[in-house]
């Protein structure tokens, strides 16, 4: 079945309560502040110790690998998180699909998607996995594949 042609129903039980929604939103926003300020000591507040990160130019497992992946970024970039939509998964975790906008020093921008799974830990909500996909890019991705494009089908398949 081609899921892209099917509307994804929003089931009542999938919807986040306002408290959870706000806590998830704050974790995603904190990520942008952390990256743009090189505040890597905050990493354990945002990701679980065994968190995974997957992009087409690399992947990471665990906090130190995530930091190594993120850290070489252009320090003149600014990250913005937009258009987050959320749903509960059956195991009580939360799946969040966000658009990011990166503002570069020249005033140019890069846009793409984060698809995250967040877990409710004793210390609060943390990102357990993050998939990063650039959007609307020319050519092919660094891994030689076409640029990955998130959709409702890919989000639901999470």
**Binding stretches for another protein (CB under 8 A):** 18-19, 21-23, 25-30, 32-33, 36-39, 45, 75-82, 101, 103, 105-109, 124-125
With respect to another protein, which residue has the nearer C-beta, 61 or 77? 77
Query: In angstroms, what is the C-alpha Rg of the chain?
Result: 16
In angstroms, give the least distance from the CB of 43 to another protein.
14
Nearer to another protein, 25 or 93 (CB): 25
Q: Nearer to another protein by C-beta: 32 or 153?
A: 32
121 with 112: CB under 8 angstroms? no
Contacts of 86 by beta carbon, 8 Å cutoff, 6+ apart: 16, 21, 24, 94, 95, 96, 97
Dist CA 71 CA 78 (whole Å): 13
Minimum distance between the CB of residue 116 and another protein, rounded to whole angstroms?
A: 15
Instruction: Output the smallest distance, CB 28 to another protein, in A.
Output: 8
Question: Nearer to another protein by C-beta: 8 or 105?
Answer: 105
**DSSP secondary structure of 79-107:** EEEEEEEEEE-TTS-EEEEEEEEEE-TTS
Instruction: Closer to another protein by CB, 99 or 137: give it.
Output: 99
Report, in Å, the least distance between residue 141 CB and another protein.
Answer: 24
Residue position matching structure tokens 């990955």: 148
* CA distances for 92 relative to 22, 61, 80, 135, 141, angstroms: 16, 22, 27, 29, 33
For the bound state, the minimum distance from the C-beta of residue 106 to another protein, rounded and expressed in Å, comes to 8
């Amino acid at each position: 079945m081609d899921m892209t042609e099917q509307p994804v129903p929003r089931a009542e039980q999938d919807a986040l309560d306002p408290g959870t929604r706000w806590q998830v939103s704050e974790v995603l926003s904190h990520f942008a502040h952390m990256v743009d300020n090189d505040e890597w000591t905050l990493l354990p507040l945002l990701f679980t110790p065994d968190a995974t990160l997957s992009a087409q130019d690399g992947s990471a497992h665990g906090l130190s690998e995530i930091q190594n992946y993120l850290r070489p970024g252009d320090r003149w970039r600014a990250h913005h998180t937009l258009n987050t939509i959320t749903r509960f998964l059956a195991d009580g975790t939360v799946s969040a699909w966000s658009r990011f906008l990166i503002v570069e020093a020249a005033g140019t921008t890069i846009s793409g998607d984060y698809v995250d799974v967040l877990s409710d830990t004793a210390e609060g909500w943390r990102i357990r996995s993050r998939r990063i996909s650039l959007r609307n890019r020319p050519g092919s991705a660094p891994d030689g594949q076409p640029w990955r494009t998130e959709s409702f089908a890919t989000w639901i398949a999470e």
